[in-house]
Chains A and B, each alone.
Chain A
Amino acid sequence: MGLKHVSKSFLLLTILALSMILIIACSSDSASTSNPDKNPSKVTSSPQSGGTITIGLKEEPDTLDVHKTAMSAASNVTSHIGGTLLAINPDTNELEPYLAEDYQVSDDGKTITFKIRQGVVFTDGTPLTAQVYKDTFDRILNPETGATVAASLIAGIEYISAPDDQTLIIELKAPSAPFLRNLASPGYLQPLSKAAIEKHGNDYGRNPVGAGPFIFKEWVTGQSITLDRNDAFNWPQVSSKNQGKAYPDHIVYKFIKDDQTMLAALDSGSIDIAMGVAPKDVQRYRNNPKYYVLENERQGLGLFLEMNLENKVLSDLNVRTAINMAINKDAIIKAVINGEGTPAYGPIPGTIFGYDPNVENYGHKLNKDKAISLLEQSGFKKNGKGIMEKDGKELALELSIMAPQSQAAQMVQAMLKDIGINVNIQSMEAGTLIEKATKGEYDLSFLSYSYSDPDILFLLFHSSQIGGLNHVRAQNTELDKLLEEGRTTIDPEERKKVYASIQKIVVENAYWAPIYAEKNFYVVNNRVQNVKLSKVTIEYQDSWVQQK
């Protein structure tokens, strides 16, 4: 049952990673489209070795010790210096072997046996064996390590054993539907060299050693991280065209916080790839033959409004439904993300398994008159100022946001004012917002999340998660039961049915006002060919740099 034992601060960090940090690694979709075909013809068709790919990253990782970080920037960088047991085919989004040649799941779904690939060597010379994987997972599960995201990904593990160099056996506490896909999460679950960890001790996070296509070279604080090619690498995932070492000599990550500065760097050629480009800026590059744009849809919601059920006013279902009906999602999508997204009617988007398309029919639609009449049913009356009032008290709520959500917040403020609800916007740091939301010290709050499995709903709505991610403080026995069922149901069709009922309950109770699921954009200079966006990460194994 996975995450029950996890502490509050852990959840806090998890959501930090899951929701607000630029989602690169964890994000994606089923229809990830890359369109290098549009490239101009001057490009040669055969790959060339050499050159450097320079990438603009919005955030600087806190540490490159994948067990201790919760930042997707760190998982993004480390995914290129290490591999994973299983990987995702960027074209089909199916699981495929990577560091495990093969795997078998037992009939009860609780035991998984992996056959570890032979000939894989860490860049410090240690060979990869099943024992190394056992040590790595043991380190994650050891509470002293303080692992956050990594621990949540393999939280279902009961016992690990490595009977010989090539065999790794994982026993789960209960059958877990999301477990295998979790193993393909880039960065976080790569095998670590025990020798390197012992050698560097607390400095390991600044000197990571992996068994991937690139080797960590240097990290200049506040500026950049440089990776060198690993010339010994010949074990890429099966679907890569290039089955040998990578083409570019180096990968350099430059940290550029400001959007406009990032684009200026892209324009001037000082970076080749800009991560997380704002939708409003993308159009310019789509029309420019010097660049190509990679995009995928967020696996999760880019914006939703949480409502605190412990708030007196919000405990009234009519008020929550009215808020849902007052929000014009299309207008927000048009203004905030330039139309590059889809309105959300339920708690999960179409990119996550188990999405019930029916939610678009029964989900709350924009209907101001109905919203007002719902408020009136609950005893509210418009006063002289056009604000709803009950027992002499105006209907006023506080909306907690982070600074980048200010536009959407102002729109929601205006929309709710239209039905007579006064909203006061409080802008705060991400950490403060999460802390307040976790403790339930808020009325309304904006948030986003990314997750690869509908199991995220367990974290968001199960009553055991109050004080964690269950910010709305939902306590619904029927919902609890279904959420537990969703975790352990392995049969996909059965599981879909469970999640369809869950979505229905969440929508009917109007715990949230879901707003949208948006696209992520990456702009790539044509100089760098064949960059691929997989379901979970951006791939450079088949990429090469055009030499002049």
Chain B
Amino acid sequence: MRKLETYKPIQARVTYKSPLKIKSDSLQKLSRDKRAIVCIFFLFIVFIIGIFSPLLAPHNPEELFYESILEAPSKEHLLGTDAIGRDVLSRLIYGVRVTLTVSLMAVTITFFIGTLIGLICAYVGGWVDNVLMRIMDILLALPSIILALAIVAVLGPSLTNAMIAVGIASIPGFARIIRGAAITIKSSGFVEASRSIGSSHSWILRRQFLPNVTGILLVYTTLFIGVAILDTAALSFIGLGAQPPTPEWGTMLSEGKNYMLDAWWLATFPGLAITIVVFAVNFLGDALRDIFDPKSSR
């Protein structure tokens, strides 16, 4: 019930304004929000680094430098080398690719299945809603990382499976939020009007439901990217995600933790990278929420 309450004002808005109007309105707000701009800019740079990592990285991330094992940051190796002589900076840069790919793919899975389940529950209602939501409730009872662990345990440890596991593990939360937002639209006047003139179900879902939950979708998709990055890193940390020698931040962190006292740079840099990127993603998500959720807007 509380969720429903939260999104009520959206319904009020929606009934008075066309969806298109909301969009241009929000873009304007976004461009005025400095922190959002900074985050978007930062994430854009991270993205560019990911795309051009072969050009940017000083070394091959899998190359072993036998002569400089566990070397502190120096000119040759700006962020030092790891326990078996690989360049930390290069691994970090290539790690961007892995991290972004995995988290975006995971969120895509969450996004499509979660939205579908959420909208169907809201639109169909009745026993379909009840059954689907009870299943989601059961899954929600487990922390998402435990669920992801269980899925990886079944599928076997690999990056692709980690991607699938993290994606699936986030579905229940996502579906619940979308359902909450969509259920308020169901009872609105324009939906009833469309129904009474005989519009098809798919038309109503596509043209009336979807546009009205776009804001919420955007906010939560962004926030879930942060969650996905963390979950992927966590799975890799315990050895169930990226397999060696793939440069992945969680794996690097895990390999570095045994050297905390001897080689601080091993765990520090991947740790910082995860923190900063997740921080930026969450900040952006918060900014978007302020814009799309009128209740919390200033």
Residues of A within 8 A of B (CB): 259-260, 280-281, 284, 328, 331, 334-336, 403, 406-407, 409-411, 413-415, 417, 424-425, 427
- Does B211 count as interface, using CB distance less than 8 angstroms? no
Residues in B neighbouring A403, C-beta threshold 8 A: 239
Q: Are A427 and B64 in contact (CB under 8 A)?
A: no
How many Å lie between the Cα of A409 and that of B85 in the bound state? 13
Q: A335-B84, A335-B85 are in contact. Are A411 and B64 (CB under 8 A)?
A: yes
User: Which among A260, A280, A284, A414 is the interface contact of B64 at CB below 8 angstroms?
Assistant: A414
Known pairs A259-B258, A260-B261, A406-B255; list 20 more (Cβ under 8 Å).
Answer: A260-B257, A284-B261, A328-B66, A331-B64, A331-B66, A331-B85, A335-B66, A335-B83, A407-B83, A407-B255, A409-B244, A410-B84, A410-B244, A411-B84, A413-B244, A414-B62, A414-B63, A414-B64, A414-B245, A427-B243
Residues in A neighbouring B258, C-beta threshold 8 A: 259-260
Find the B residue at minimum CB distance from A417.
Answer: B62
Residues in A neighbouring B243, C-beta threshold 8 A: 424-425, 427
Residues in B neighbouring A328, C-beta threshold 8 A: 66
How many Å lie between the Cα of A281 and that of B262 in the bound state? 8
How many Å lie between the Cα of A46 and that of B180 in the bound state? 78
CB distance from A340 to the nearest CB of B (A): 14
Most B CB within 10 A of own CB, among A411, A413, A425: A411
Find the A residue at minimum CB distance from B85.
Answer: A335
Q: A260-B260, A335-B84, A403-B239 are in contact. Are A410 and B245 (CB under 8 A)?
A: yes
Residues in B neighbouring A260, C-beta threshold 8 A: 257-258, 260-261
How many Å lie between the Cα of A411 and that of B244 in the bound state? 10
Residues in B neighbouring A259, C-beta threshold 8 A: 258
- Does B14 count as interface, using CB distance less than 8 angstroms? no
CB distance from B81 to the nearest CB of A (A): 10
How many Å lie between the Cα of A335 and that of B69 in the bound state? 6
Dominant secondary structure of chain A at its interface with chain B: helix
CB distance from A321 to the nearest CB of B (A): 22
Residues in A neighbouring B83, C-beta threshold 8 A: 335-336, 407
How many Å lie between the Cα of A284 and that of B259 in the bound state? 13
Dominant secondary structure of chain B at its interface with chain A: loop
Residues in B neighbouring A409, C-beta threshold 8 A: 244
User: Which among B62, B66, B84 is the interface contact of A407 at CB below 8 angstroms?
Assistant: B84
List B258-284 residues whose CB lies under 8 Å from chain A.
Answer: 258-262
The total of chain B residues at the interface (CB under 8 A) is: 21
User: Which among A284, A331, A413 is the interface contact of B245 at CB below 8 angstroms?
Assistant: A413
Residues in B neighbouring A284, C-beta threshold 8 A: 261
CB distance from A479 to the nearest CB of B (A): 34
Residues in B neighbouring A415, C-beta threshold 8 A: 64
How many Å lie between the Cα of A281 and that of B70 in the bound state? 14
Residues in B neighbouring A406, C-beta threshold 8 A: 239, 244, 255
How many Å lie between the Cα of A371 and that of B243 in the bound state? 27
Residues of B within 8 A of A (CB): 62-64, 66, 69-70, 83-85, 157, 239, 243-245, 255, 257-262
Residues in A neighbouring B255, C-beta threshold 8 A: 406-407
How many Å lie between the Cα of A407 and that of B261 in the bound state? 18
CB distance from A178 to the nearest CB of B (A): 37
Most B CB within 10 A of own CB, among A260, A406, A417: A406
CB distance from A436 to the nearest CB of B (A): 14
Query: What are 7 residue pairs bridging A and B, where the CB atoms are less than 8 Å apart in the complex?
Result: A259-B258, A284-B261, A335-B83, A407-B83, A413-B244, A413-B245, A414-B62
Q: Are B239 and A427 in contact (CB under 8 A)?
A: yes
CB distance from A363 to the nearest CB of B (A): 20
Q: Are B84 and A425 in contact (CB under 8 A)?
A: no
Most A CB within 10 A of own CB, among B62, B239, B243, B244: B244
How many Å lie between the Cα of A336 and that of B83 in the bound state? 7
Residues in A neighbouring B64, C-beta threshold 8 A: 331, 411, 414-415
Residues in B neighbouring A407, C-beta threshold 8 A: 83-84, 255
Residues in A neighbouring B157, C-beta threshold 8 A: 427
Find the A residue at minimum CB distance from B245.
Answer: A410
How many Å lie between the Cα of A303 and that of B257 in the bound state? 23
How many Å lie between the Cα of A144 and that of B260 in the bound state? 49
How many Å lie between the Cα of A406 and that of B237 in the bound state? 13
Most B CB within 10 A of own CB, among A403, A407, A417: A407
Residues in A neighbouring B239, C-beta threshold 8 A: 403, 406, 427
How many Å lie between the Cα of A410 and that of B69 in the bound state? 14
CB distance from A419 to the nearest CB of B (A): 14
CB distance from B168 to the nearest CB of A (A): 23
CB distance from B222 to the nearest CB of A (A): 34
Residues in A neighbouring B62, C-beta threshold 8 A: 414, 417
How many Å lie between the Cα of A17 and that of B240 in the bound state? 27
Find the A residue at minimum CB distance from B64.
Answer: A414
How many Å lie between the Cα of A410 and that of B259 in the bound state? 17
Find the B residue at minimum CB distance from A424.
Answer: B243
The 7 A-B pairs with the shortest beta carbon distances in the complex, nearest first, are A331-B66, A335-B84, A410-B244, A335-B69, A414-B64, A410-B245, A411-B84
How many Å lie between the Cα of A413 and that of B85 in the bound state? 14
CB distance from B259 to the nearest CB of A (A): 8
CB distance from A108 to the nearest CB of B (A): 54
CB distance from B255 to the nearest CB of A (A): 8
Residues in A neighbouring B261, C-beta threshold 8 A: 260, 281, 284
Residues in A neighbouring B257, C-beta threshold 8 A: 260
Most A CB within 10 A of own CB, among B64, B69, B239, B243: B64
CB distance from B238 to the nearest CB of A (A): 10
How many Å lie between the Cα of A280 and that of B83 in the bound state? 10
Q: Are B66 and A334 in contact (CB under 8 A)?
A: yes
How many Å lie between the Cα of A259 and that of B260 in the bound state? 12
CB distance from B185 to the nearest CB of A (A): 49
Most B CB within 10 A of own CB, among A328, A403, A414: A414
Q: Are B85 and A425 in contact (CB under 8 A)?
A: no
How many Å lie between the Cα of A413 and that of B86 in the bound state? 13
Residues in A neighbouring B84, C-beta threshold 8 A: 335-336, 407, 410-411
How many Å lie between the Cα of A280 and that of B84 in the bound state? 13
Residues in A neighbouring B259, C-beta threshold 8 A: 280
CB distance from B227 to the nearest CB of A (A): 26
How many Å lie between the Cα of A415 and that of B64 in the bound state? 9
CB distance from B262 to the nearest CB of A (A): 6
Find the B residue at minimum CB distance from A425.
Answer: B244
Find the A residue at minimum CB distance from B257.
Answer: A260
How many Å lie between the Cα of A335 and that of B262 in the bound state? 13
Residues in A neighbouring B85, C-beta threshold 8 A: 331, 335
Residues in A neighbouring B66, C-beta threshold 8 A: 328, 331, 334-335
Q: Are B262 and A280 in contact (CB under 8 A)?
A: yes
Residues in A neighbouring B70, C-beta threshold 8 A: 335
